[in-house]
Amino acid sequence: MRALSVASEAVPLVKTGGLADVAGALPGALAAEGVEMRTLLPGYPAVMAAATGRAHDLGETFGGPARLVEGRLGETTLYALDAPHLFDRAGGPYLGPDGADWPDNPERFAALSMAAARIGAEGVEGWRPDLMHLHDWQAALTPVYLKALGARVPTIVTIHNIAFQGLAPAEKLAALGLPAEGFTSEGYEYYGQISALKAGLVHADAINTVSPTYAAELLEPEFGMGLDGLLRARRGVLCGILNGIDTEAWTPPYASPRGKAKHTRALREEFGLPPSDGPLAIVISRLTHQKGLDLLLEALPALTGTGGQLAMLGSGEPALEAAFRDAAESDPNVSVRFGYDEALSHRMMAGGDAILVPSRFEPCGLTQLYGLRHGTIPVVALTGGLADTVINASPAGIAAKAATGLQFHPVTSERLAQALVKLTTLWSDRPLWQRLMRNAMAHPVGWDVSARAYADLMKSLVTPS
């Protein structure tokens, strides 16, 4: 079976979040399931550097010339949408150097969706997908364009985070090539604006998100971001499939819990933390309200007051950055680094005793999976994929010798503080802590099961029943 994955980012070429990890890893994982998946990415400078193969002209596309250029994404085929007027610029995939959204983002990712639809309708050099796998709002206009081209190709839209919907003013309907008759409450109209994500959710043959619990949460107003009614109406084609991680890229530099100690000492030294008889907790995250890091600020005394320490790597909201900078300046057991450093994140996973993920909502989450892989015990909010991947160290979980981490609920600073106190208590029981680490390191976090689930979903759409 041939499938085209359409995404706005993918490792190792471009990454701002977990979407890139999934888009980069899934094609290789699906190959073992008999799915030949190729990937379409925007032609950012880093992507074009990897696209050195044949070029296929697309003509005028949203204000300038465009073409598809072939390259490699790991062991699979890459198509880069080479449209310099849209993608050859400094800054990030979505934001300019000033930190603001590119004003032409609606056109940029409409072009990505249109290129995907062209591949679905016409193929490339004789290769034509049997199915389209569309990631988030940036690819979600593809089903609308496929219909306009008269092509019938099954589509799956994967929601990585419903908070991002790709909104555009209604005045852009014609500029984006969207039929005016589709701009209704049953179509892609969203509170007077165009919603690219809603367009995909209305027209896709299947919808999935990145954990079973998040799929259920999206049917509730608290989590559905105004699309819960639509998703309830389409619940028959909605499912949750957990993300996996690249277990080779995230292999710990030790085979058993006993090997972690020297990496913990090295991490303390790298972050300028003093020796301690308590656990070293880490955070690797965007500093945003969603991630619950304001709650961690309030709960920090529960960690450091019981002998724990914090090493943080991240960036985000200026107020949160300033607050954590102040916390580090006032407490020698707190150290922070702002920005993102892939190599440092690996050293933190190897050296941390616990990883804190206090998210208010979390579609899947990957850092807790990296933590499990390294025996770095996750402390997580009971939501989304965090609920699906961590087995709580409750009395029952401990008695069954199955626990892999700590969960807390509701998502408040007080409950997080209680979890941090429990973390230091568990850490002080060394035999129990070693068992938690062994359980965590043995927990399956790879793509095997999830790739099989994706392949089954794809085959159900392509193969007549």
Give the per-residue pLDDT at 110.
98
15 annotated to bind ligand:
yes
Give the per-residue pLDDT at 91.
87
What are residue 169's DSSP bridge partners?
Answer: 193
Q: What is the pTM of this model?
A: 0.91
Determine contact, residues 263/350, Cβ cutoff 8 Å. Answer: yes
Per-residue pLDDT reduced to its tens digit, 332-361: 999 999 998 989 999 999 999 999 999 999
The arithmetic mean of pLDDT across residues 302-323, rounded, is 96
**Strand ranges, E, within 36-125:** 36-42, 55-60, 65-73, 76-82
Give the list of residues 6+ apart from residue 203 with CB closer than 8 angstroms, or none.
Answer: 143, 144, 147, 155
**Cα separation of 279 and 264, whole Å?**
9
**Strand ranges, E, within 53-191:** 55-60, 65-73, 76-82, 131-135, 155-159, 167-169, 189-190
Amino acid at 228: D
Assess whether the previous peptide bond of 252 is cis (omega < 30° from 0). no
Q: What average pLDDT is seen over the chain? A: 96
Pick from 445, 456, 243, 198: nearest CA to 363: 243
pLDDT bin (cut points 50, 70, 90) of residue 225 is very high
Q: Is the pLDDT of residue 156 over 60?
A: yes
**Cα separation of 395 and 286, whole Å?**
32
**Cα separation of 75 and 176, whole Å?**
34
**Cα separation of 298 and 311, whole Å?**
16
Per-residue pLDDT reduced to its tens digit, 168-185: 999 999 999 999 999 999
Quick one: the chain helix, strand, coil %, rounded to 5? 40, 20, 35
Burial 58-76 (b: 16+ CB within 10 A, else e): beebbeeebbbbbbebbeb
Q: Is the pLDDT of residue 427 over 90?
A: yes
Query: What fold, for 257-442?
Result: Rossmann fold (3.40.50)
The arithmetic mean of pLDDT across residues 41-56, rounded, is 96
Q: Is the pLDDT of residue 151 over 90?
A: yes
The arithmetic mean of pLDDT across residues 373-387, rounded, is 97
Q: Is the pLDDT of residue 149 over 70?
A: yes
What are residue 70's DSSP bridge partners?
Answer: 79
Give the per-residue pLDDT at 340.
84
**Cα separation of 10 and 281, whole Å?**
29
The arithmetic mean of pLDDT across residues 182-211, rounded, is 97
Q: Is the pLDDT of residue 464 over 70?
A: no
Determine contact, residues 12/24, Cβ cutoff 8 Å. Answer: yes
**Cα separation of 200 and 135, whole Å?**
10
Torsion angle of C-alpha atoms 266, 269, 273, 275, degrees rounded to 10: 70
Q: Is the pLDDT of residue 400 over 90?
A: yes
The arithmetic mean of pLDDT across residues 60-77, rounded, is 95
Residues in the chain: 465
**Cα separation of 464 and 454, whole Å?**
17
Tell me whether the CATH fold assigned to 2-244+448-462 matches the one assigned to 257-442: yes
Q: Is the pLDDT of residue 465 over 60?
A: no
Determine contact, residues 240/174, Cβ cutoff 8 Å. Answer: no
Give the per-residue pLDDT at 299.
98
Pick from 407, 394, 386, 393: nearest CA to 439: 393
The arithmetic mean of pLDDT across residues 188-209, rounded, is 97
**Between 110 and 342, where is the model more confident?**
110
**Cα separation of 78 and 69, whole Å?**
8
**Cα separation of 237 and 9, whole Å?**
25
The arithmetic mean of pLDDT across residues 210-233, rounded, is 96
Pick from 191, 148, 153: nearest CA to 169: 191
Neighbours of 428 (CB within 10 A): 14
Q: Is the pLDDT of residue 16 over 60?
A: yes
Multiple choice CATH, 2-244+448-462, 3.40.50.2000, 3.10.20.580, 3.50.50.60, 1.20.140.10: 3.40.50.2000
Per-residue pLDDT reduced to its tens digit, 361-371: 999 999 999 99
Give the list of residues 6+ apart from residue 214 with CB closer than 8 angstroms, or none.
Answer: 223, 240, 361, 362, 363, 364, 384, 385
Neighbours of 339 (CB within 10 A): 8
Pick from 199, 37, 31: nearest CA to 106: 199
Domain range summary for the chain, segments of one domain joined by +: 2-244+448-462, 257-442
